[in-house]
Structure 1
Amino acid sequence: MGSEETPDLREALKTVAVALKRSGVPFALMGGYAAWARGGPEPDHDVDFLIAEEDSAAAAKFLAEEGLDVVEPPEDWLFKVFTNGAMVDVIFRDSDLTAGRDLVERATVMQVLSVDMPVMPATELVASKLNALDEHYCDLTMPLAVARALREQVDWERVERDTSGNDFAAAVLYLLRRLGIIDRAAAT
């Protein structure tokens, strides 16, 4: 899968997941690869893990001690881990909400690429993708593809509640109903 030009994201996912498991810090696969693990399209740019904000320093320290390249970017809501040329984001604040252990612990353990790991539920994944939309990032391609793929796993009423303050999310929910991807009565 990987090459000099294309980092092996799957291998990076496994490497960081196994290291996080060894750290004892509660974590969950989130973002595009979590959606992929649940049946969505495979992402092509990075891997995302969620940890509680109170665990971020300990997780970063442990991963660095494991020999992974840990970088703290200017953004104050994540740190990045590089392994074999691939980038993994370790996020502790998503959509402007601080991640507590309760959010991380909602994940369910699934086998992803032969590694058992916690994966965020479909409802949280879709809500997170929709809440990430704004006037600077309003490409609907991936949110629509993920919503279509995960539609039976999603509590659409909860997505509606969790994204009620985002007009872009409302537009996506409207479009999903119009396209018949979700029930017209769902998320209204």
Structure 2
Amino acid sequence: MQSVFPSLVETWRTVLVAGGHGLLARLLITFSTMRAVKPIPPKDKISTEDPELAERFNRVLEEAVEAMEGSGIRYAFIGGVASGSLGRPRSTHDIDLFVMPEDAELSLRALGRKGFRTERTDPAWLYKGFKDGILVDVIFKSKGDIYLDSEMYQRMTSAEFHGKRLRFVAPEDLLIIKAVAHSELTPSHWHDAIALLTHARIDWDYLIRRARRAPRRILSLLLYAQSNDIGVPNWVIHALFEGIFGNTAEGAGERAAKEPSVQPPAARPQIYSAPRAAEEKITPEWCRVAVREPTPGGMSYHARDEYGVGHLHERLAEDPRTNELDIQIEQSGNTIILRGEVNAPERRKAVEQVAREYFPNTVIINEVRVLELKEPPESEPL
């Protein structure tokens, strides 16, 4: 078959050229002259076939570490270096440093003192350093408003990389960062996260707690992993599911309450009930039901702390005053912090108003920013 196929291509190429089918002929000429692609050899963690490039990468990596350590900056590696060390073997040609926002400028200066050319690429989340053709990203806010906070910093881990001991965010935090950053343009993030489930030792309780930042995305990732026979405990799936949607038995009771029934109304199942004692033993704290009394404004609800935050996300997306999908909501005790960007001051006020209506007895801190929309410069006619 291999000897026959090229001759067939050559025959059709001759026919098409003779018949004037230029485009098809050129396509077949290109196809017939293609050579087999050399298979990529398996990689041992992060490597390259170019020894000179590998040497430069390792040298710049070491200088970046010296810059951070010498300045006492709190940092950890994320990105390809971390994924290759904690998860699957993969190649990378840049270095991602994760720092606290207040340390971003210090990090840039520290790199500058080591001879890096630096730039403030995007003051909202990213600076860059360049040396010997190697890029160092200084990231101080990951997608989804994920920061190097104190809990993440305390949970850091270390591992050997090319003879150096490096510090990384915990595999659970890297998994969340990767899953949230995943998009159509960056499919590798998703599979990096899946690889962490396979290769890293996961603290499931910690993952569930940190998954409050993006519970639906993490739940979908874990379900996808289970569909590929990767060991994810069922109780973790149930905990995340109930944290988002509530107890499924309660949902069944709610549906039953809406359907015709021979039972008198008083005998129907209670829609919102506290979890049973057995459930209390396995349900993480943030997933547990917190029953609230009716509010003075007349709104009565029984919600989980994080479940209520999820409902507020939906309210902000559906309320015609706001229609905002990208507002980040952080809850700490009796305080709700709103972050994100909107296009008008009125929309910013509306976001806060909707939040106060839903959490009337909670302190609301509105850190939503109003974007300054500028007219694009006039373009020259073509």
Give the alignment's TM-score, normalised by structure 2. 0.43
1:158 has 2:225 as partner: no
Distance 2:53 2:229 in 1: 39
- Name the counterpart of 2:164: 115
Distance 1:28 1:66 in 2: 18
RCO higher in 1 or 2 (8 Å CA, sep ≥ 6)?
Answer: 1
What SS does the corresponding residue of 2:76 show, helix, strand or coil? strand
CA separation of 1:179/1:102 partners in 2, compared to 1, >3 Å: closer, same or farther? Answer: closer
* C-alpha RMSD over aligned residues: 2.8
What SS does the corresponding residue of 2:165 show, helix, strand or coil? strand
What SS does the corresponding residue of 1:67 show, helix, strand or coil? coil
Unaligned runs of 5+ in 1: none
- Give the superposition deviation at 1:136: 5.9
- Name the counterpart of 1:15: 63
Of 85-94 and 41-50, more deviation after overlay is shown by 41-50
CA separation of 1:46/1:16 partners in 2, compared to 1, >3 Å: closer, same or farther? Answer: same
- Give the superposition deviation at 1:65: 1.8
1:37 has 2:85 as partner: yes
Of 160-169 and 14-23, more deviation after overlay is shown by 160-169
1:69 has 2:117 as partner: yes
Structure having the higher Rg: 2
Query: 87, 99, 102: which is aligned to 1:54?
Result: 102
Q: Is the 8 A contact 2:152 2:173 kept in 1?
A: no
Distance 2:215 2:180 in 1: 6
- Name the counterpart of 1:173: 222
Q: Which amino acid is 1:144 matched to? A: I
CA separation of 1:18/1:90 partners in 2, compared to 1, >3 Å: closer, same or farther? Answer: same
1:86 has 2:134 as partner: yes
- Give the superposition deviation at 1:173: 1.0
Unaligned runs of 5+ in 2: 1-47, 238-382
- Provide the aligned length of Structure 1 versus Structure 2: 186
Q: Is the 8 A contact 1:131 1:166 kept in 2?
A: no
- Give the superposition deviation at 1:16: 0.9
CA separation of 1:112/1:46 partners in 2, compared to 1, >3 Å: closer, same or farther? Answer: same
- Give the superposition deviation at 1:64: 0.7
1:147 has 2:192 as partner: no
- Name the counterpart of 1:182: 231
Distance 2:150 2:108 in 1: 16
- Give the superposition deviation at 1:171: 2.2
Q: Is the 8 A contact 1:54 1:100 kept in 2?
A: no
Give the alignment's TM-score, normalised by structure 1. 0.80
Instruction: Report % sequence identity.
Output: 22
CA separation of 1:5/1:79 partners in 2, compared to 1, >3 Å: closer, same or farther? Answer: same
What SS does the corresponding residue of 2:236 show, helix, strand or coil? coil
